[in-house]
Amino acid sequence: MTKALKMSNFVKRFKEAWGSLTDVRKKSNRLTYTMAEIALSAFAVFFMQAPSFLSYQRDMEQKKRSNNARNLFKVEKIPCDQQIRNVLDHVKPEEINAEFFWLIDELEQSGHLESYTCFEKTKAIALDGLTYHSSTEIHCQHCSTRKDSQGTVHYYHHALLPVIVKPDCAEVLALPPEFIVPQDGHEKQDCERAASNRWLKQHAAHFAPFTITFLGDDLYSNQPLCQQIIEDAQQFFLFVCKPASHKTLYEELALLEKVAGGILTRQIRFWNGQSHEPWTYRWATQLPLRAGEDTLYVNWCELQITDAATGDVLFHNAWVTNHRLTAANITMACHLGRTRWKIENEAINVLKNHGYHLEHNFGHGDLFLSSTLFALNLLAFLAHTALFLANVHYRLIRQELVARITFFDDLRALTRYMLFLSWEHLLSFMVDGLEIHPSPT
């Protein structure tokens, strides 16, 4: 039995947790705003996706002696934008990590995380990197740098973004990011590979109660990370594997092709709505991931989809894994491998192009501001997804409005002109206004 989640409970948790965020202000009884109010004010802007949300609520306070920042986000006194930036610049994004896992735990305890169990009774976490800030002028001490062909220095922020995904499910669950920043004691710039190692060391224990399959592109199918997943995390991986970067493995495959039964094959005919497409699956076991006596031996699988009429290749990709591959599970293994693209389509694309304005410069700062605001934006994305999964009124409204941007437009308009007593009041008002009739079940 699944249980409903409430936004008011999210806000209560965040307010309690964020009261202890790093505060470099001089301790004084005259401090106007608490750390919780400052962090919740920033979170409110991202959750509402309304850059002017706080200024609208200040105006409402003057006219109605109350406002939606107080009623919805429990912000008693609203700080100005510059004060939020100044104070949050000293808060490390890692201080927000616990709230990601709190939301995931809420989904697990309410029964909604169980639906993300898929291939071989595992939950899948897709890994990918994204750039959320780039400028030739604005920068801080944590920016990475690169030079273009003209010698111009570009400053940018890059992060590893892990998300829980499931085949044929549009909703992905964002996890705490790992920021790719210059590391103390290292001359080389940080990279996705190093960030993935750090993320796994920091957070693998949280997933110990579950069986996890990590998904990623060819960049992640390297021996150090694969060994770390097997030996340290005691979990599974299913990473893209390309011939150019895995020559030893593909040389072994070429030898196996000459042996009867060396590479196993299964073909099905998939109806695409217009015609049957031949889907050819191939797999082999115990192949060396790299050259050398200390190599890790992995299993390999491949899917090729062709046009039945022309013979043209419509899709081709291959993966390595430590899952046992059989004729019974090969189709689902490749289906899960293809699910890696959900991190591009349902996470990064949504964050950049469908309401969250991920690449917008909300404030850069000198220390951690850019990264901390990114983490709060990502947390808002997770909170919206959790509500969609586990709050009937929220889900009905989103489904009725269809476009995520339309939903944000309505939230902005309603909270600018009307005062709501609680999140439940706001969502009920929207359900009534849209004349949605929830099913009794």
Q: Is 351 exposed, middle or buried (0-12, 13-18, 19+ CB in 10 A)?
A: buried
Give residue 189's pLDDT: 61
DSSP secondary-structure letter at 292? Answer: S
pTM for this entry: 0.93
- 330's enclosing H/E stretch is helix 330-338
pLDDT class for 441, splitting at 50, 70, 90? low
- E strands of 203-291, at which residues? 212-216, 236-240, 264-271, 276-288
Tell which residue, 316, 257, 263, 302, has the closest CA to residue 286. 263
pLDDT class for 174, splitting at 50, 70, 90? very high
pLDDT for 42-96, tens place per residue? 999 999 999 999 999 999 999 999 999 999 999 999 999 999 999 999 999 999 9
Structural fold of domain 95-349: Transposase Inhibitor Protein From Tn5; Chain A, domain 1 (3.90.350)
Average pLDDT estimate for 25-39:
87
Look at residue 340 and tell me whether its pLDDT is greater than 70. Answer: yes
**Residue whose tokens read 């894994």:** 321
CATH 3.90.350.10 residue ranges in the chain? 95-349
Q: What is the mean pLDDT of the chain?
A: 92
Judged by average pLDDT, the poorest of 179-188, 293-302, 316-325, 421-430 is: 179-188
pLDDT for 362-409, tens place per residue? 888 999 999 999 999 999 999 999 999 999 999 999 999 988 899 999
The answer to whether the CB of 225 falls within 8 A of the CB of 235 is no
How far apart CA 30 and CA 211 sit, in angstroms, is 50
pLDDT class for 188, splitting at 50, 70, 90? low
Give residue 185's pLDDT: 44
Dihedrals φ, ψ of 182, to 5°?
A: -55, 130
Provide the total of helices (H) and of strands (E) in the chain, helices listed first: 16, 11
Q: Which residues contact 398 (CB under 8 A, 6 or more apart)?
A: 388, 404, 407
